[in-house]
Structure 1
Amino acid sequence: MTQTPVAATQVGDPAVAPRTPMTVVRGYVALTKPRIIELLLVTTLPAMVLAAHGLPDWWTVLVTMVGGTLAAGSANALNCFVDRDIDALMRRTGHRPLATHDVSPTGALIFGVLLGVFAVGLMGFTANWLAAGLTALAIGFYVIVYTVLLKRRTPQNIVWGGAAGCMPVLIGWAAVTDSLSWAAVVLFGLVFFWTPPHFWALAIRYREDYARAGVPMLPVVATPAQVSRQILGYSWLTVLTSLVLWPLATGWVYGVLALLAGAGLLIEAYRLNAATKRGEAGKPMRLFHFSNSYLAFVFVAVAVDTFLR
């Protein structure tokens, strides 16, 4: 697909916004994608609470949250570095610092690497080396497996590449126990199955963006009916996986809350599926926003149930 320079100019023209020290600082912060980090941390702390059967010691919580923030920031900054060409072609990402030239590619690369090195070192020397190893694996998987190898080659990119976003629950668990357990694996699976319907709902909304950039996200290469069916299937897997945790490591409070939240997620998925069957566009962003709330609610339910027991 031939790209025209017009698209890149429309979304990120350095002449429109002069580069100043403040825009550079804001640019480096934006490279870390703070809003994505928030959701990752929401899954980390409840996993730590469940692993500790209560609130872990404050030092472990502090270093894990700081290390997790730095690691996620590293992966996101390196993702921006690799994807700087397609980010400039997409309206959703055209405001990113490399697309607007607020940060140089070299600066973004060095920044991302330094954040990653510091994150792994912090986890290793203050928590344990299992947590540090999982942190390094998460960064590498997101940047190399998802961004470099999968994203531009297969519509299943977010299915397998999304495993990087599941790693915080394992990292948090390992930071507390210096080991892993089946409960941690179930939490990993919950986020793993949640990721495709969450991201595909967003990709439906920005289908033209991904098509313009030549990224084969599922909504670009499949019909709306096919996409909505896969979203529905993964939503069911998400809810069923969340319920596996009930007899394994939680009590009735979590079970009831997970059932209620799961019902809401399935209702939204069925609504989108029904709309596509009628030949309508549906409301994918409604599902996207609800999926954010769903994941946060279920993980908060893990912590609440643990404290009550």
Structure 2
Amino acid sequence: MNAAVIYIRLLKPRETLLLAIIGLCTAIIAGEGSPPMDRFLLAAVTIIIGSGGTNGLTNYLDRNVDAMMKRTRHRVIPSGLITPEKALIWAGSLVIIGLALALYLHPYAFIAGISGVTAGLMFRKTWATHFLGILSSCGPLIVGWFAINPDVSPTILLLCLIILLWLPIHVWNLMIAARDDYLSAGVDIFPLNQGVDLTAKVSLILSIILFATCMLLYVAGEFGTVYLICSLIGCSMMVWATFNMMQSKDKDAAYRAFRVSAFPFLLLIFVAPCIDLWITGIS
């Protein structure tokens, strides 16, 4: 395999792409549809480098567990395509560069970045993992927003709240779908030690709160019909998927809920406001 491909795969390109999309959509929202191009491009570089580096560090830290799981043993470190030392140097360098760029953009962006990295290093595979991971997931939003707009507004707070509610649902559904794989690797944290029933009920409650939060963003962000329709579709999909998981109590339903909560939901929620702002700008 080409060396460049190996180094890119270490950074989890799909996850990095998703984080970059939501971060840059947040920058567009912060700029009311037309952010300054120089700041926007710098934010793009910062988010891609920082998110990729953080994902690479995650691969490095999880390498021993990944080697024991069927779902992850093909990753570049467990499969021997790259040594842990080289992976750490590559990912660590990107994180440092990303943090330096974030500091240049805005102190809040740097604080979000360093908090996410620190939480990831200290609380791997513990009960706090999912909640502290929110710091990392909100990082691209905070970088994107404060690169363009220095003011704290209800819009950025609600966007971060959406991620706060979304992340546990997304991660828990995957862990339930691959529960046996995780347990065989010695990972026994919530929700793995509880099973489908409780996880599905909590996920459904969070999905309903998430629905309400997305509707609140419609009002606070003064977005238009495109966002309203897309958020109704996305949130309805989430509620239905978690409700179906609660009813069926099987791993296939958990995996379907996981798939719905990834690209489909976040793209609907974050791209739609940008389209609304562009339509408003044209009209």
- Please say if 1:122 is aligned against 2:101: yes
Gaps of 5+ in 2: none
Q: Secondary structure at the match of 1:97?
A: coil
1:40 is aligned to 2:13: no
Q: Paired residue for 1:308?
A: 279
Residue 115 (structure 2) pairs with residue 137 (structure 1): yes
Code of the aligned partner of 1:99? P
Change in 2 beyond 3 A, CA 1:260/1:163: same
Aligned CA-pair RMSD: 1.9
**Structure 1 residue 23: deviation in Å?**
4.6
Amino acid at match of 1:48: A
Residue 186 of structure 1 pairs with residue 175 of structure 2 = no
Mean Cα displacement is larger for which, 200-209 or 249-258?
Answer: 249-258
Deviates more, 1:128-137 or 1:190-199: 128-137
- Normalising by structure 1, we get a TM-score of 0.84
1:31-54 deviations in whole A, cap 9, x for unaligned?
A: 110000111112112211221111
Higher mean displacement: 253-262 or 170-179 = 253-262
Query: What does residue range 17-166 of structure 1 map to in structure 2 within 5 Å?
Result: 22-125=1-104, 127-141=105-119, 143-144=120-121, 148-149=122-123, 151-154=124-127, 156-166=128-138
Of 57-66 and 182-191, the range deviating more from structure 2: 57-66
In structure 2, the partner of 1:289 is 259
Quick check: 2:218–2:224 contact (8 Å CA) kept in 1?
A: yes
Does the 8 Å CA contact 2:51/2:140 hold for their aligned counterparts?
no
Cα distance in 1 between the residues matched to 2:166 and 2:195: 21
Contact 1:210 1:217 (C-alpha < 8 Å) held by counterparts: no
Q: 8 Å contact 1:31–1:97 — kept in the other structure?
A: yes
Tell me the equivalent position of 1:15: none
The AA in structure 1 aligned to 2:268 is F
Offset of residue 275 of structure 1: 0.8
| Cα distance in 1 for residues equivalent to 2:160 and 2:44 | 17
Does 2:192 align with 1:213?
A: no
What is the SS of the residue equivalent to 2:69? Answer: coil
Give the 3-state SS of the residue equivalent to 2:256 in structure 1.
helix
TM-score under structure 2 normalisation?
0.91
Q: Which of 242, 256, 280 lines up with 2:214 in the alignment?
A: 242
Q: What whole-Å deviation, never above 9, does each CA across 1:13-39 have from its counterpart, x for those lacking one? A: xxxxxxxxx454332211110000111
Q: Provide the residue aligned with 1:275 in structure 2.
A: 248
Distance of aligned partners of 1:234 and 1:160 in 2 relative to their CA distance in 1, 3 Å threshold: farther
The 1:121–1:219 alpha-carbon spacing in structure 2 relative to 1, beyond 3 Å, is: closer
Mapped partners of 1:284, 1:91: distance in 2: 18
CA distance in 1, matches of 2:238, 2:162: 13
**For 1:148-194, what per-residue CA distance to the aligned partner results, in whole angstroms no more than 9, with x for missing partners?**
32x4332x531332332122111110110134322111100101101
Q: 1:282: Cα distance to partner?
A: 4.6
For the Cα contact (< 8 Å) 1:48–1:173, is it kept in 2? yes
Superposed displacement of residue 111, structure 1: 1.1
Q: Matches of 1:101 and 1:180 in 2, distance apart?
A: 45
Question: CA–CA distance in 2 between the matches of 1:23 and 1:218?
Answer: 38
Amino acid paired to 1:237: I
CA contact (8 A) 1:31 1:108 kept: yes
Amino acid at match of 2:198: Q
Q: Distance in 2 between matches of 1:243 and 1:213?
A: 40
Deviation readout 1:268-305 (Å, 9 max, x if unpaired)? 111111112xxx54522221111120111111111112
* SS of alignment partner, residue 261 of structure 2: helix
Matched-pair contact (CA < 8 Å) for 2:25–2:271: yes
Unmatched runs of 5 consecutive residues or more in structure 1: 1-21
Contact 1:203 1:217 (8 Å CA) reproduced: no
In the alignment, the residues of structure 2 paired with residue 34 and residue 203 of structure 1 have an alpha-carbon distance, to the nearest angstrom, of: 20
